[in-house]
């Protein structure tokens, strides 16, 4: 193991998003090996489980001032005072701040982040410019984002480290041969998640099954699309089958009481929600967006469908509903695939190896050649 380094991890806030969760996981993964401080750009929003995690794992953290000038000056002074060796940032805003302040403070290594395969043109251009001229490296958490960045003209300083997840004991499910089926989706209530296609799929499943099964589809999340989802539930006549949950207290309790996970996104990075579903041993039906096909091995732990194809989605849902043994088998394969390829331990090892070899990285096709094997 390399000598201890002073590591700074930045994140916009302690909100409920996946990047926020992964920044805390990285702090936990590195803190027993290096001197790690989490720097939070804004004091709001705060998702209480993030605070609980920080306290439980005893993660050293600070908040930057709200005033923009004080924020920049304060961050530069912090970086110099703490003699930071490496900065890891996750989102465009904190990557931009780290790039500028890190250069001013003469930080040896500054790593930005890219987490979606599609984003606003101005945001993508900003990430390209800071990657090409200010950052040492950009870390993508998915190969779709890596490919998009290369197509957009990023210099070959982009490497892929997928999200990690702490593996839970696989739940002991009751025998799946039952007439009541629960399907679940997690995520922000935004256009990207294409909940209209999901609701339309459920309506089509209802028509195909013709009351042979009791369907319960749960949409769990918050966001600006709530009213649109409620309207689509009425539009497609599934008021009895679809439940919108905006104040869930325990995501894992909801997943463990479900039978199938559904993702209808139009674009993704690598889906934390799908990984959480796999962690609960669920079979997955997902659109071919982002890195979904790396999580969902078509025909093994679920099915990959065309984006927006509600009939294809419904067909696979019906198969899983009518074939309980298939549902059970695919659920177990989901769990095994997650454990073997996306565990917290694999995530930790990749970042520790990156830090250890940061003085001489050779990147090829998003992989670090001298520490990663195909």
Segments forming the whole domain that contains residue 155: 6-164+343-367
Per-residue pLDDT band for 326 (boundaries 50, 70, 90) equals very high
CB-neighbour burial class of residue 253 (10 A; exposed 0-12, middle 13-18, buried 19+):
exposed
Question: Are both 29 and 128 inside the same structural domain?
Answer: yes
Summarize pLDDT for 6-57 with one digit per residue, the tens. 999 999 999 988 899 999 999 999 999 999 999 999 999 998 999 999 999 9
Q: Is residue 235 part of a domain?
A: yes
- The position carrying tokens 């302690």 is 14
Say what the pTM is: 0.86
Summarize pLDDT for 358-374 with one digit per residue, the tens. 998 888 888 887 554 44
Predicted pLDDT of residue 362: 86
Q: Which residues contact 28 (CB under 8 A, 6 or more apart)?
A: 53, 57, 59
Pick 186 or 371 by higher pLDDT. 186
C-alpha dist (Å) from residue 166 to 79, 114, 189, 277, 303 = 30, 22, 25, 12, 24
Question: Are both 293 and 278 inside the same structural domain?
Answer: yes
Question: Are both 244 and 308 inside the same structural domain?
Answer: yes
Per-residue pLDDT band for 2 (boundaries 50, 70, 90) equals low
Q: Which 3 state secondary structure label does DSSP give 36?
A: strand
Question: Are both 204 and 321 inside the same structural domain?
Answer: yes
Percent of residues, the chain, with pLDDT higher than 90: 86
Percent of residues, the chain, with pLDDT higher than 70: 97
CB 257 within 8 A of CB 284: no
| Number of structural domains found in the chain | 2
Question: Are both 13 and 146 inside the same structural domain?
Answer: yes
Range scoring the smallest mean pLDDT among 118-122, 161-165, 169-173 = 169-173
Q: How many CA atoms lie within 13 A of 197 on its CB side?
A: 22
Predicted pLDDT of residue 148: 94
Per-residue pLDDT band for 176 (boundaries 50, 70, 90) equals low
């Amino acid at each position: 193991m390399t000598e201890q380094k002073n590591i700074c991890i930045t994140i916009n806030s302690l909100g409920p998003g996946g990047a926020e969760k992964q920044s805390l996981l990285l702090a936990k993964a590195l803190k027993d090996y290096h001197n790690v401080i989490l720097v939070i750009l804004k004091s709001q929003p705060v998702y209480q489980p993030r605070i609980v995690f920080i306290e439980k794992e005893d993660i050293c953290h600070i908040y930057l001032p709200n005033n923009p000038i004080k924020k920049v000056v304060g961050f530069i002074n912090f970086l110099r005072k703490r003699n930071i060796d490496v900065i890891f940032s996750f989102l465009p805003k904190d990557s931009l701040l780290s790039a500028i302040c890190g250069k001013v403070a003469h930080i040896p290594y500054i790593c930005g982040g890219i987490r979606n395969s599609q984003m606003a043109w101005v945001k993508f251009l900003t990430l390209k410019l800071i990657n090409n001229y200010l950052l040492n490296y950009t870390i993508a958490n998915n190969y779709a984002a890596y490919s998009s960045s290369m197509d957009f003209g990023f210099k070959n300083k982009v490497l892929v480290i997928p999200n990690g997840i702490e593996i839970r004991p696989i739940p002991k499910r009751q025998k799946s041969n039952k007439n009541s089926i629960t399907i679940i989706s997690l995520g922000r209530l935004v256009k990207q998640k294409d909940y209209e296609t999901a609701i339309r799929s459920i309506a089509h499943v209802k028509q195909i099954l013709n009351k042979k099964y009791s369907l319960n589809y749960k949409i769990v999340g918050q966001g600006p699309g709530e009213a649109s989802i409620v309207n689509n539930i009425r539009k497609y006549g599934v008021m009895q089958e679809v439940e919108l949950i905006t104040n869930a207290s325990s995501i894992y309790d909801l997943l463990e009481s479900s039978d199938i996970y559904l993702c209808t996104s139009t674009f993704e990075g690598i889906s934390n929600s799908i990984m959480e579903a796999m962690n609960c041993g669920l079979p997955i039906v997902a659109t071919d967006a982002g890195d979904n096909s790396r999580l969902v091995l078509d025909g093994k732990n679920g099915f990959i469908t065309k984006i927006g194809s509600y009939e294809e989605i419904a067909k696979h849902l019906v198969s899983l509903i009518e074939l309980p043994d298939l549902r059970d088998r695919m659920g177990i394969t989901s769990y095994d695939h997650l454990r073997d390829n996306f565990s917290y331990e694999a995530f930790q090892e990749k970042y520790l190896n990156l830090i250890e070899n940061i003085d001489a990285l050779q990147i090829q096709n998003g992989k670090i050649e001298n520490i990663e094997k195909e």
